[in-house]
Structure 1
Amino acid sequence: MLSTASCVEKLMLQGCNFQSFTHTDELAYSLEGNNIHYGAAQNPKLAGHACGGSSMGSAAAVAKDLADIGLGTDTGGSIRIPASYCGLFGIRPSHDVIAKDGLIPLAAPFDTIGWFTSSAELLKEVGDVLLPKQPINPVNTLVIADELLELVDPSLEATLLNSLALTKKQFSKHKRFSVPSKQIFTELSDAFRVLQGRSIAHTYRDWLEQPKRLSHFAPAIQARFTMALSLTEQEEREAKKVQQHWQALVANNLDSKSCLFLPTTPTTAPLLGADTNALRMQIITLSAIAGLSRSAQVHIPMPCLANGAPYGFSLMMSHGNDKSLLACIQLIHTQLK
C-alpha cells in the first residue's frame, strides 16, 4: 500500500501544498550537487557554481523561489552545505527526533530529515510542525572553539570573525569550548567516514556486490562504495572511540542554554565541475561535529560577499534542543544583518 511520508503529511495537514520531487546526488552519497544521470543543479544565487549536495534540488528550488520549504536529508552535511552555498536557512535536526518513514536510508546512525527556508521565521514554523514536544529554553551562552575558525579558507576568515563579533553581541555569556587537544578535530572526518561507510556496507553490501552494480555510479561515488565495502571491524571500533570521546566533550561543553558557533563550510560554493575530492574531507571535518554527537545544527545565511557568493555560519545545540535553537535564531537573526 502506498502512503505519504509522515513529515510530508504533517506539513500538508497544516496547509502546505506539495509542489514536486527534486533530484539528489546518487543515493545521497555526495556533497557535490551532481548526478551523472540527471545533471548538476546550478546555484540560483551564484551562476556557474554548485548548489552542494546531496539535497541539491530542494535547495535550488527554495533559492530560486520555486518553493517556500524544501525538505531534504542530512547524513554528512546534505542540508547544511547546500544551505551555505545557496544563502538559505537549513537545519539538521537532532538524530531520530523526526520519524524517517518513507526515507531510503544511506547510513541509518546518521540519517536525518531536515529542511530549507529563506527566513528564520518559516524555519521555526516548520519545526513547530515536525519536531516533537521539547522544552524551549532561553539560550544565553555562546560557546566558541577557536580551533574551528582555523578550518576555513583564509579568504573567509575576516568574514567569519565579523559574523562571530555580531553574534556575540546577542548573548549575555560567552565561553570557550574546552578540548584537551585540537587533534580531536582532525580525527572527526575519518571517524565519520568509517562509521558511515560501515553502516552503508551493512545495509547495501549484497546489492552493491552484484555484478556490474558499481559501474552504474559516477567514479567518485563508485570509489566511496568500494571504500565502504573494504572497511574492517577494527576500523569501526577505533572510530567509535573517537565518536564517544567527541560526544563526551560536547556533553561537557554544551547544556540546554548554550550553543556552539561554528563555520558551516570551509569555502563558498565551488564552480560547477570543479574537483571537490579534497574539499569533501575538509567539509566533513566541520559537518561531522553535529553528526557524531547527534546534535541539532542550523546554518544562518549572512549578506552575500562582495563577489556575490552566499556565505554564513552555524549554531549548534546538543541533542533534543532543536526548538530552543530555532527560537534563539528567530530572536537574534534580525540583529545579525
Structure 2
Amino acid sequence: MNATHDSIKAFCRDNPAALAPAGEGALSGLRFAAKDVFEIAGTRTGFGQPQWLASHPPADTNADCIDRLLAAGGELVGRTISDELCYSLTGDNVHYGAPRNSWGLDRLSGGSSSGSAAAVCAGQVDFALGTDCGGSVRVPSSYCGLLGLRTTHGRVATRGLLRFASQFDCIGWFARDAHIFEQVGRVLLPAAREQGAFKRLLIATDAFDVVDTEVADAFAPALETLGAQTDEVQEIRLADDGLDRWFETFRIIQAADVWDALGDWVTQTRPTLGPGVRERIAQAARIDAAELRHAQAHRVEIIARLDRLIGEDDVVVLPTTPRPAPPRGASDAVLETTYRSQAMSLLCSAGLAGLPQMNLPLAMKDGLPLGLSIMTRRNGDMRLIELAGRVCPQAPVPPDLALA
C-alpha cells in the first residue's frame, strides 16, 4: 500500500513491505495485509516499537502463513500497524498513532491488530492477518464490525511470527465477506475435517452479566438468529468461580510468558514505552514463581471445566466486547478499567483453554458495531467459519463507504 494513499493511517511507513502472488489458487485476485509481527523476507519486523525495529535485522524468510497465502494467489499489499509490543487492546500506538476506524473517525479501531482491522474496515484490502493472544483479533473485529477469528491454539503454524506470549499466541484474520473469510480458512487450515452443523447453542449467562442491560438487549435478535441454527438452546455459566478470577489467572500466565520472551531485550535496550504498555511490562517483570504455579494449576481446572461444559456438537455464544469502540482521547484510566479489564473477562476463556472464538458483526448500538462471539471445542475452527457464513454472509459497511 502506497503510504501517500493511506488515508486511515493503517500501514507501516518505516518498514513497508509488499509481495506479488507466488502462485494461483483460491485467493487469486485478492489483496491482503499483514500485521507488523509477521516476518517478511528482506524487511525488518517492527513489533509496533521503533527501538525494536532498529535493533533487529531483516528477516531471511517469510512467515509460513504469508507463504501459504501467496502460494494460493493472494497479493500482499502492505504491513499494518500493531499496538506497541502487542501489549494493548486499544489500537492507539504512542509511536505511530491510532489507525482510523471507518465507523467513526472519533473512535479507536481496537488492538493490537489495529492496522489490519482498520484496513479491512476501510475496504483497502480484502482480508488481513492479525494475531490474538488476549483478544487482539476479537476486539478490533468487534470495534470495526468485521468477521474475525482467533484460531485454536497451535492450529496455524507460527513460524516467522514474533514471539509475545507463546502459551496463548494465535494467528487470525479479518474479512468483511464470509466467502473470502472461508477461502482464507481453507488455505490456513488445510486439514480441517467436515464436522457438520452445531446441534446446541450454549448461552454463557455470566458473560452477558458483564455487559450493561442495553448492550445485552442489542444482542437479542442475533441470539435468535443463532438459536435458529441449532436444535437446542441452553444457558450455562462458564466460570463457577467468576470470570474476573479467570482473567487474573490469564493475566499472570500471560505476563510471565511475555517477560520470558521480551525481558532480556527490555532490560538491555530500556525502550521508551507508552502508557499502559509500560505498566504491564513492569508488572510482568514482577511475577514470582509461586504466583505462576498457582495460576497454572487454576488453568488446568479451567480447561477441564470447559471440556466438560462444551460438548462435541456445542457452540457457545458470548459478547466479544462489553461495549462499542472507545472514543479517541479517552483517558488511560477509562481505557484500562471500562474497556480493557471488562473485555478481558469476556476474552480470557478461549485463551486459557486454547479454543477457537470468532467475532460476528451481528449487532449495533448507537450507530456502532457491537460484536457477538461464537466459541467451540479445539479444532472446530472451520465449523465456526461455516456457521458465520450462514448467519452473516456480509459484514455491514460503514455509512461513508456505502455512499462512496
- State the TM-score bracket (shorter-chain normalisation): over 0.9
Structure 2: how far apart are the matches of 1:42 and 1:14?
A: 30
Structure 1 residues 105, 158: closer, same or farther in 2, change over 3 A? Answer: same
The structural deviation recorded for 1:179 is 5.5
- Which structure 1 segments of 5+ residues have no match? none
Match of 1:172 among 231, 235, 240: 231
Equivalent residue number for residue 45 of structure 1: 103
What letter matches 2:382 in structure 1?
A: K
Gaps of 5+ in 2: 1-58, 397-404
Match of 2:173 in 1: 115
Structure 1 residue 299 corresponds to structure 2 residue 359: yes
Q: Does 1:285 align with 2:336?
A: no
Q: 2:200 pairs with 131, 136, 141, which one?
A: 141
2:91 to 33, 39, 42: 33
Change (3 A) 1:217 1:80: same
Residue 289 of structure 2 corresponds to which residue in structure 1?
Answer: 233
Q: Which moved more, 1:187-196 or 1:163-172?
A: 163-172
Conserved? CA contact 2:238–2:306, under 8 Å: no
Q: Measured at CA, do residues 190 and 303 of structure 1 come closer, stay the same or move farther in structure 2, by a change above 3 Å?
A: closer
Q: Which of the pair is proportionally richer in helix? A: 1
C-alpha deviations, 1:16-55, integer Å up to 9, x for none? 1111001111111100101111111121112200000000
Q: Deviations over 1:115-134 (max 9, x none)?
A: 00002222111110001413
* Deviation of the 1:328 alpha carbon: 2.1
Match of 2:399 in 1: none
The one-letter amino acid of 2:200's match is T
SS of equivalent residue, structure 1 residue 19 = strand
Choose from 373, 377, 393 the match for 1:318: 377
The code of the aligned residue for 1:61 comes to A
Question: Are the equivalent residues in 2 in contact too, given 1:187–1:242 (CA < 8 A)?
Answer: no
Is 1:104 aligned to 2:166, yes or no?
no
Paired letter, 2:286: S
Matched, 1:266 2:322: yes
Aligned positions of 1:51-200 closer than 5 A: 51-138=109-196, 139-177=198-236, 181=240, 183-200=241-258
- Residues 336 and 254 (structure 1), Cα distance of their counterparts in 2 relative to 1, 3 Å cut: farther
Aligned residue-pair number: 333
Query: 1:203 offset after TM fit, Å?
Result: 1.7
1:255: how far off? 2.6
Displacement after TM superposition at 1:241 (Å): 2.3
* Alpha-carbon contact 1:89-1:300 (below 8 Å) kept: yes
CA distance in 2, matches of 1:159, 1:180: 23
Instruction: Go from structure 1 to structure 2 and tell me whether the alpha carbon gap of 1:26 and 1:178 turns closer, same or farther (over 3 Å shift).
Output: closer
What displacement does 1:336 show?
11
Distance 1:90 1:25 in 2: 17
Residue identity in the other structure for 2:72: Q
**Which secondary structure does the structure 1 equivalent of 2:242 belong to?**
helix
The 1:180/1:191 distance shift into structure 2, 3 A limit, reads: closer
Work out the CA distance in 2 between the residues paired with 1:180 and 1:195: 18
| Alpha-carbon distance in structure 1 between the residues aligned to 2:209 and 2:301 | 21
State the match for 1:218 in structure 2. Answer: 274
CA distance, structure 2, for counterparts of residue 148 and residue 336 of structure 1: 23
Contact in 1 for aligned 2:253/2:292 (Cα 8 Å): yes
Shift of 1:178: 5.2
TM-superposition CA deviations, 1:282-313 (whole Å, max 9, x none): 111111111001000100002533x3211120
Give, in whole Å, the separation in 1 of the partners of 2:237 and 2:268.
47
Q: Name the CA distance, whole Å, in 2 between partners of 1:284 and 1:199.
A: 17
Aligned counterparts of 2:182 and 2:360: Cα–Cα separation in 1: 13
Residues 1:13 and 2:13 are matched in the alignment: no
Moved more, 169-178 or 60-69: 169-178
Residue 43 of structure 2 aligns with which residue? none
Deviation at 1:225, TM superposition (A): 0.4
Q: TM-score, normalised by structure 1?
A: 0.94
Contact 2:146 2:395 in 1 (8 A): no
- Percent of aligned positions with the same letter in both sequences? 33
Segment of structure 1 superposing worse, 221-230 or 153-162:
153-162
CA distance in 2, matches of 1:80, 1:331: 19
Q: Could you tell me how far 1:320 is from its partner in structure 2?
A: 1.1
> What one-letter code is carried by the residue in structure 2 that aligns with 1:234?
A
What TM-score, normalized by structure 2, do the two folds share? 0.79
More relative contact order, 1 or 2 (CA 8 Å, 6+ apart) = 1
